[in-house]
Structure 1
Amino acid sequence: MSKSIHGRNVIKLMKDQNTPQPQQQWLALMAAEFGENAEFHTCRASDMSAAQLVELFISNGRLTETEAGFVINQCGHCAGKETQEATA
């Protein structure tokens, strides 16, 4: 059984792309990076598929749809943790 991947790792992956992407493109990127059957969690939710995590990010404003695709909105909650992990 694979371990669950924190949503902040997905946000980092998306930020590294540095370009808006359609939802299906984000899902394909997540599958390529973490595996087709990867399980995801955040600080407040767990046991999510990639599609469920993307929907959560859309509903809580982490992803916003533009004409070019979805873009990431940085929140303060996990931003510090992303920085800590990058320097560890």
Structure 2
Amino acid sequence: MRLPSLNFSRKLATAATKKQPFKVVEVGARDGLQNEKQIITAEDKVALINRLSECGLKSIEATSFVSPKWVPQMADHQEV
């Protein structure tokens, strides 16, 4: 196993301490639900999204515009 060089470690430490803006994107309503075996209703998905929003999240990926044939959980994307 090769250890990282000291120079690399210094760069990493410097990058970690710099205050740079970042964006948190919640994807649970999209990625998290698409693999569930039991279909979640649009009403429940909207309730989840609203609760996530109430937590202060600014960016929430709510659904995916994909074929219901391939991802049945997203069949109600227009309603959500």
Q: Output the TM-score relative to the length of structure 2.
A: 0.35
Which structure features the higher share of helix residues?
A: 1
Which structure features the higher share of strand residues?
A: 1
Q: Output the TM-score relative to the length of structure 1.
A: 0.33
Larger of the two Rg values belongs to structure? 2
